[in-house]
Structure formats: C-alpha cells, structure tokens
Amino acid sequence: MPQRQPRFGIIWIVFLVFVVLFFGRSIGSLIIDYQWWQEMGHLATWGEMMEYRFLPGIAAWLITFAALWIAHARGMKHAGTGLGEHPHYAKLSTLVLAAVSFVIATGTADGWTVARYLGGRETPQTAGAWTDPVFGEPLRFYFFDLPFYEMLISYVAATAFVCALAYYLAARGWQLKREIPGFTLGQEFDLRDLRVLGKFDTHMLKGLVASFLVAMAVQFWLGRYEMLTTDHGDLMTGMDYVQQNIGLPLQVAKAGFAILAALLVLIGRRKLALGCAVILVIDIILPPLVSGVYVRPNELSLEKPYIERHIAATRSAFDLDHRTKEVEFPASKSGRIDFDANATLLDNVRLWDWRPFHDTLSQSQPLRPYTYSDTDVDRYMIDGRLRQTLLAPRELDLNQLGAARDRWINRSLTFTHGYGFVMAEANRITEAGLPELLVQDAPLKVRSKSLNASRPELYYGEVTGNPVYVRTMQPEFNYPSGSSEVNTRYEGKGGFPISPLWTRIASTLANGDWNVLLTSAFTNESKMLVRRNILDRVGTLAPFLRWDEDPYLVTTPEGRLVWIIDGYLTSDAHPYARSISTTSLGRFNYIRNSVKATVDAYDGDAHLYIFDPDDALARAYESIFPTLFEPVSKMPKALREHARAPETMFHAQAELYRIFHMRDPESFYNKADLWDIATFTTGQGGEPTPTPPTYMIAKLPGEKEPEFLLVVPFTPRNKQNLIGLMAARCDGEHLGETVYLQLPKQEVIQGPLQVEALINQDQNISKDLSLWNQQGSQVLRSQILTLPIDQTILYVAPIYIQAAQARMPQLRKVALVQGETLIYADTYDQALAQLRAAQQGRPVLSPGGAAAAPSTATPAPMTTRGGPDPRMDLIRSHFERYRQLSAQGKWAEAGKELEAVETVVKSK
C-alpha cells in the first residue's frame, strides 16, 4: 500500500494536467460566464439558454444511438451471432455508432427551433395579424410550427435510413463471415456470393424502410407550405398559378404514393413500391410544360390574383401598411414658405454632415489616447427649444500609446475607459466656419444648463473590447492635464470580484493571461470588467436578436451616459413576401424593430425593452425568457425621448416601398410606376450613389409642430425629378409611424442630383469651387438635404473646404434651392435672408455679388410707409461680412461685399 499511494497520486496529477491542457480554457470560460450572468442578474435566463442549446441535441443523440445500437444488434442476431461473442468488435462498433449518432443529431436537431416552437405555443394565433390565403394558417405556424415539424421529420428520416443501413450491413456482413470463412473486409468481393446467403427480407428491415417512406410522405405533405416562399424572380414570390393548380395536387399525390410505397414494402411487394417513384418523374415534367404552353402566353391574367397576394404579404412583412399614412403632398416650384411659422424647422437645418464634423473634431478637439469612433445625430431640448445635435463619444484608442500599448499594466489596469463626448448643434457655425460646441474639452465644459455630464467615463462602448481590472492599486488614467494627468478610480457597480484565487485562476485559463494570477496589484475590492463592447454585451444576452451595428449615445438629465441599441427580429419564412439582403442583417423577408436595448456606459447595466408587442417572434421569445425583457413602459422617460426609427430597417423598408407602392397588380406587373431612391454625388466627377436615410427636424403636412424624422427621397426609374418622400416619425407616441408623401406627377420638381447639377453649373459657384481646389485645399460636398416645407421643397447644400495638409473641414458656403431660385451665400443666415427677400420680390444678390431678381420677382421700393426699409437687413449682413473678411486679410472678397452693398442701395 505505501508503494501504491504515490503511484496513484501521480496518475491523478497526470489526469489533472490533461484536463487543464485540453479543457482548461472551456472550464475557465464557463466560470467567467457564470460570474458575468450573475453580474447582469440573468442567471435564470442563462440556464434556460443552456437547456435549449444542449438538451434537444443530447436527447436526439441518445435516441439515435439507442436506435442504431438496437438495429446493429438485431442485424448481428439475424446473422446468428451477438455482440457478447466479440468483445473487441463490440467496443469499436459502439464508438462508431455513437459518433454516427452524434453527427445525425447535430445535423438535424436545432435547439433554437425547439425553443421557438415551445414559445410559439404560448403565442396567440392573432399575433402578427396575417394569415396565408391558401391554407388559412396564421403567421405563427410558419415561424414556429412548420420549422419544428420539418426538423423533426428530417431527424426521423435520417435516423430510419441509417438504422436500416446499419441493420443490413451488420446482418449481411456477419452472414458473409459465417458462410464464407475466408471473407475479410479488405479482399475483393463478388456480389454473386450474396446468393449463397439467400433472400434478405426481414420484418425489421421492412419496418425501417416503411418508416423512412412515411417520413418522406410527411416531408412531401409539408412541402406544400414551402411553395408559399418560392421565388419567381421579378414577377412575384409565393405560390403561382402552376403551383396552385398543378404543383399542389402533385405534392399531395407524392405524399400518397410514398404511403402506398410504405404499405407495399410491408407486404413484400418491393418492385411495385419502386414503381411508385413514377410520380417524381411526372412532378419534374408536368409543371414546366404547363407553364410554357399555357401560362406564359396568358401570364398577366392568370397570375393577377397571386400578384395581389404577393403585394399584400410583402407590405405586411416589412410593416409598410401598419401605422402608416399615404399623403398627397401638393408641392410646387412656386410654393411660398412661411418663414415665421417654420422658424423652428429652419433653425434646425443640419448644416454639418457627420463626416466633416467627425474630421473636424479630430483636429479641433484632440485628446490622447482617445478617438472619436462615431458621430450620432439626435435631438435635445436645449434652453427650452428643440434642437438637432451631433454627438461624438470619446473612446479609448490604445494604438496611440505606441509600443506601450502592449504592456499588460497599461492595457489592463491603467487605460481602462473612454472619456466624455463632444456635442454641437447641427445648425450653429462659428465665424471660422467650425461647429459651435455645446460640450467640449477635458474636464468636460458644458455650455448649456439643459445638459449635464456628471459621469463622463465610458467603461462600456462601441470599440471597447479587452477585459480590464478596476479598483486596483494602480491609478486609472482619466484625461491629460498639461504635462501631467488626472487619474480616477472606478466607483460603479459593474464587474465581479477578481480577488478570490479561484476566480483569478479561471480568468487566467479563459484568457490565457498569466499576469492575472501573478500580479500583486489586486485588492479585496478589485473587480474584473468583461464584455465591455456593447454589441457583444447585448448579443450575449439575446443572441437570437440581430443588433444594429450603429448604437448611439445619450446623455440623461442626471448626467449619465447611456447607449441605445436597436434590435431586430427577422425571418425568411413569411409566405408570399419578397426577400431582401443587407450587409448587416443578411437575407430576410420579415423584419420588426421589436426590441431596443440600453447599456449604461459606466455601470454596464443593460435592459431590453419590448417596443412591438404585436410581433409574433417577440411574443415567443418573451414567453421563453420571461425575465429577460421589460415592457416599454418601464423605460425611463429621459431615454424614451431619444428612441428613434433605426436607419437599417428604414432603408430596407424604403427599398421595398419604391416597388410596392404600386398596389395595382397590372401596374406592378408592368413596372409602370417604378421608383428609385434619389441619388447624389460628393463632388465633381463622382459616381451617383443612393441617398442614405437622413435624420432631420421637419414638419409633416397636417401637423402643427416640427418633429424629429428619418427621411429618404424617391425619383422615378431612370429619371432624376423628385416623385415622393418617405418619413419615419420618431417622437413620443408617434414612434414607429411612417408617412409617405406622394408628389403630384403633373408638377416636375427637381431631385437632389438635378439640384446638385444646377449648383455645379452656376458660373460663379463653379469658379469658386475650381479656385479653392487649386489653392492647397479641397472642396468637400455632403449630401443635399431635401426638406418638405409648407407646399414646396427646400434644398440645402453645405459646402466645406479642407486644407490638403490637415483634415479639418470648415463650412465655407451654403447654397439654397427652392423652385427656380438659387441662393449662394457665405452663411446659412445670409442665404435664408436672401431667400426670404426673393420670395417677397426684393432684389437678391447673385452668387457673384450683383443684384439679380428671380423671374417672378418685382422691384421693391427703397422706402416703405409702414416702417424701415426691408433692404437694411441685407445691407447690415454684407457690412458684417465685410468686417470679418477685412479682419482676416481677405481684401478681394471684402471688396465684393462693398460692391454688393452698393448694388443693393442703387436698386429700385
């Protein structure tokens, strides 16, 4: 015994080393995951996800293995032998059968399909508010029941087939071994030797083959439903005339013939059973024949009802007819703008495109080692007024540290978070042509009492990734201050304790980082922060959701920074609906923005709110994970005010609406009124690209107040004039509503590309652009803003200049186009004043500085009886601009301002 104990201990040590080497990372990750889910307060959800992920597969594996083992054992028994007589073969065959069973189970059993099926059982049939017109099944049947039935039948068919194969091979193999003693698996084999073994026709083999044929019959029967998602190209999606009248009966016939074949197999009529396959040949030949001979010459008349189904289903699948309103917008070129009534709208025109704004911040607000990863457009009530804003978070960029970024103390203990943000009003420009900042610098300077940023640190963000350790003996860098730096200490509730030895070992194993185990910087209060990337954070909480790749940051009245992320539920199983593919979401034919998540940038606290309780998928997941989701009523009011329509879903809707605004089947078939998303270019010689959806503050027809909207313009196919606008409402109870503004076809209104051409062709503007592009600078053009206002369209085109040596764009000019009037001025206020003057019939300065009235204008008198001369505002603006240019030493341009003043004074 004394000699055996050390040997026994060595065996245990070797075993533990083996476990650590091969399973240590998985075990460590599992422990860290447990700690993280406990930190998030969703341990029960994690347990439920683990059950759905593994239990269906394990159950399928065990059932398949048992069936295969029995089939194999019965085959050997039929051959007159058994597993007990061949112990080595028994062990080997058991391992092989277990491996084959595992492959079948993992290839056919999907835990999420089972989970959705169970969740769908709790979903009312009215969820989704759509039923298919052929079988009368609700939407939940296609989302939950049908995928589960198809998975189950595929599993049964695969298991029956492999069991029949295992039974046959075991029986025939051991029969050959018995009847032909010299037979081995490696030798050449003559099939005629099987005649020695006699006829192989057992009840078990018949039963397995019949089970396989019955499973095939059920698959044929379920295949009827798959016809509802057949893609017929540009014509339609879903069951067409041929499938309804020929394919559907043939599908039923194939199921019947499969049942008949199963019965024939059971009674031993195998040749007749094989003859049942003739129905498959008929199914291949008959439908194309009918389509080519009868349907194609009469396609429109025969397919008309099916096209109607396709249009209705697609509009429903993409939410194009729920909480929507189509409005005739009688816009005209000569429409007049009420400048006073639209003061809020005009005062919120976004002059700064997010791209030049982002580049400007990198030069005007640099802060090592932070970077501006993104710029978000939002709206805030600032000093009692609704203002459109641009907000850029500062996130950590360790690459700015150079070689020091690889030091473990720097990346794990010292540089742990981002710091603050920069905010500007989208309409405010300084005299130097730069954005006027509301929040800037470090420490943060807030220039409005309406804003607060008391907790500016960002421990969780868009680009943050690696785990960090806080509340250690190492000070955390916050921001530079002169030649020194300001440090901080994490006081949030995020993370979990890292001081226990077993947690440090788990972290070491999970991340392969031995410094966690060896460092002496940890204290009893030290914490580990993991999954700091907010998309990874919410993606782990709800992996069945598709998350928007562009989260946006919000500052609350209490001064906390909170991320908002849009979540989508998509499917490719909606009957009759056209599918679409996007870069971020893949291919789908159903989408809902059912969930919005919030993540506290300091604590990492995450909440998932249901915004669309009518969505069948959302209802199913809510029933599966009851503690994961919260109703929208639980969302704090300060965050609810910043919820908005997401660009990703809106772009998909716009892509479909340009086709599916045609509800008449004949117009749809002929593509008589096909639209395109309006295009624009970023400069001379650039290729036109579709206009991205744009957030703006505008006033919809029939509404009294401007609101935050997401807008995209449309043009007719192969033409450039404006034909319509699509707007998603974002404020209050109107969130989720969509308004379609349809312009009159009799009135030709310029589209964005035509307006851009009008600007480029103006000789004075073209001269300026060419000159600036040759003086060590570069002209930058953003997309032209299309603003519906009163009963006309106002286009706003900011023009930026950027030095060749530094990416710091400055807003240099603003062009406004309304109807036939083109205004070109140094500032937006000047351009707006000139547009007002043009509408009132007063002289307007041309881009070159000379007075030029539009064709509809009449000369205005120098004085008026009722008050001061209306031209005084214009004269004052030119004198103010003269002083600014003189101070900058730009005497040539200042001289033009004096000439412009003289022209206005002499005008009559």
Strand 324-328, strand 738-742: pairing = parallel
- Report how far apart, in Å, the C-alpha atoms of 414 and of each of 409, 488, 722 are: 6, 10, 55
Taking the C-alpha atoms of residue 563 and residue 695, their distance in angstroms, rounded to an integer, is 18
Residue-level pLDDT at 374: 87
Q: How confident is the model at residue 333 (pLDDT cuts 50, 70, 90)?
A: confident
Q: pTM for the whole thing?
A: 0.87
Whether 807 has a pLDDT exceeding 60, the answer reads yes
Whether 127 has a pLDDT exceeding 70, the answer reads no
Residue-level pLDDT at 890: 59
Span 302-327, pLDDT tens digits: 999 999 999 999 999 999 988 899 99
> What is the length of the chain?
908
Q: Find the radius of gyration of the CA atoms of the chain.
A: 36
Among the listed residues 693, 706, 712, the one whose alpha carbon sits nearest the alpha carbon of residue 734? 706
Lookup result for tokens 């919809």: 700
Taking the C-alpha atoms of residue 484 and residue 466, their distance in angstroms, rounded to an integer, is 26
Whether 150 has a pLDDT exceeding 80, the answer reads yes
Q: How confident is the model at residue 867 (pLDDT cuts 50, 70, 90)?
A: very low
- Report how far apart, in Å, the C-alpha atoms of 579 and of each of 249, 655, 678, 837 are: 26, 11, 22, 50
Whether 21 has a pLDDT exceeding 70, the answer reads no
Residue-level pLDDT at 198: 52
Name every residue whose Cβ is closer than 8 Å to that of residue 203 and which is 6 or more positions away in sequence.
none
Span 160-201, pLDDT tens digits: 999 999 988 888 888 777 766 555 555 555 555 555 555 566
Residue-level pLDDT at 144: 93
Span 658-715, pLDDT tens digits: 999 999 999 999 988 899 999 988 765 567 888 899 999 988 988 888 899 999 999 9
Pull the structure tokens for residue 130.
């759509």
Cα atoms found within 13 Å of the Cα of residue 363, Cβ hemisphere only: 14
Rounded mean pLDDT of 340-347?
Answer: 87
Q: How confident is the model at residue 120 (pLDDT cuts 50, 70, 90)?
A: confident
Among the listed residues 534, 735, 561, the one whose alpha carbon sits nearest the alpha carbon of residue 643? 735
Residue-level pLDDT at 855: 35
- Dihedral (CA of 128, 651, 607, 736) sign: negative
Q: What angle do CA 413, 414, 415 make, to 5 degrees?
A: 110
Name every residue whose Cβ is closer than 8 Å to that of residue 514 and which is 6 or more positions away in sequence.
508
Whether 101 has a pLDDT exceeding 50, the answer reads yes
Q: How confident is the model at residue 866 (pLDDT cuts 50, 70, 90)?
A: very low
CA 160 and chain centroid, separation: 41
Helix (H, G, I), strand (E, B) or coil at 477: strand
Q: How confident is the model at residue 18 (pLDDT cuts 50, 70, 90)?
A: low
Whether 1 has a pLDDT exceeding 50, the answer reads no
DSSP string for residues in 563-619: EEEEEEEEES--TTPPPEEETTTEEESEEEEEEEEEEETTT--EEEEES-TT-HHHH
Lookup result for tokens 């928007």: 548
Q: What is the DSSP letter of 529?
A: E
Name every residue whose Cβ is closer than 8 Å to that of residue 150 and which is 6 or more positions away in sequence.
219, 222
- Report how far apart, in Å, the C-alpha atoms of 606 and of each of 22, 144, 530, 602, 630 are: 34, 28, 13, 11, 11
The 3-state DSSP composition of the chain as helix, strand, coil percent (nearest 5) reads 45, 20, 35
Name every residue whose Cβ is closer than 8 Å to that of residue 520 and which is 6 or more positions away in sequence.
473
Among the listed residues 471, 468, 466, 464, the one whose alpha carbon sits nearest the alpha carbon of residue 490? 471
Q: What is the DSSP letter of 372?
A: E
Whether 412 has a pLDDT exceeding 90, the answer reads yes
Residue-level pLDDT at 182: 56
Number of H helices, E strands in the chain: 27, 34
Among the listed residues 70, 68, 142, 63, the one whose alpha carbon sits nearest the alpha carbon of residue 109? 63
Residue-level pLDDT at 708: 94
Q: What percentage of the chain has pLDDT greater than the value 90?
A: 52
501 exposure class (CB count in 10 Å sphere: 0-12, 13-18, 19+):
exposed
Top-ranked range on mean pLDDT: pick from 259-263, 768-772, 871-875, 885-889: 259-263
Helix (H, G, I), strand (E, B) or coil at 155: helix
Span 446-471, pLDDT tens digits: 998 899 988 999 999 998 888 999 99
Which has the minimum average pLDDT: 611-620, 664-673, 879-888?
Answer: 879-888
Which has the minimum average pLDDT: 427-436, 629-638, 815-824?
Answer: 427-436
Q: How confident is the model at residue 24 (pLDDT cuts 50, 70, 90)?
A: confident
Q: Give the ranges where 688-762 is alpha helix by DSSP (H).
A: 752-761
Residue-level pLDDT at 256: 93
Pull the structure tokens for residue 304.
């008309």
Name every residue whose Cβ is closer than 8 Å to that of residue 34 and which is 6 or more positions away in sequence.
43, 46
For the chain, the average pLDDT equals 86
DSSP string for residues in 15-57: HHHHHHHHHHHHHHHHHHHHHHHHHHT-HHHHHHHHHHHHHHH
Rounded mean pLDDT of 549-562?
Answer: 94
Taking the C-alpha atoms of residue 330 and residue 791, their distance in angstroms, rounded to an integer, is 6
Among the listed residues 223, 325, 320, the one whose alpha carbon sits nearest the alpha carbon of residue 577? 320
Phi, psi of 285 (to 5 degrees): -90, -45
**H or E element that contains 807:** none
Residue-level pLDDT at 97: 94
Residue-level pLDDT at 871: 64
